[in-house]
């Protein structure tokens, strides 16, 4: 993501944007959890068993299927945690 200066009186918007990823959906899961699980399932279908959150969020499937929320998810998911099954 590109870094841009944010006026002091608009910095509250940062937390609002990140929080939207953690709102509970109709299945009782957060939007980011649902998205990451779907991205992980897709990566398994493509032969990737060990993948980081960062790789999921920056992958082609995320860019295609989560185009509108991809940057929001990236912002909310700080760091790169490896998840394997």
Determine which of 6-15, 27-36, 40-49 has the lowest per-residue pLDDT on average: 6-15
Contact by Cβ (8 Å): 57, 39:
yes
Structure tokens at 45: 């279908």
CA 26, 30, 34, 37 torsion-angle sign:
negative
Q: What's the rounded Cα separation, in Å, for the pair 62 and 35? A: 8
Whole-number percent of the chain with pLDDT over 70? 78
Lowest mean pLDDT among 6-10, 27-31, 46-50, 73-77: 6-10
pLDDT at 26 over 90: no
- Say if residue 66's pLDDT is above 80: yes
Is-contact 80 58, C-beta < 8 A? Answer: no
Please indicate whether residue 41 or residue 7 has the higher confidence score (pLDDT): 41
Q: Find out whether 14 and 76 touch, Cβ atoms under 8 Å.
A: no
């Amino acid at each position: 993501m590109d870094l841009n200066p944010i006026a002091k009186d608009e910095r509250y918007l940062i937390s609002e944007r990140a929080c939207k990823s953690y709102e509970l959906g109709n299945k009782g899961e957060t939007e980011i959890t649902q998205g990451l699980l779907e991205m992980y399932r897709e990566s398994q279908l493509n032969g990737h068993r060990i993948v980081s959150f960062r790789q999921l969020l920056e992958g082609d499937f995320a860019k295609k299927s989560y185009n509108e929320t991809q940057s929001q998810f990236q912002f909310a998911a700080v760091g790169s945690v490896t998840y394997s099954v």
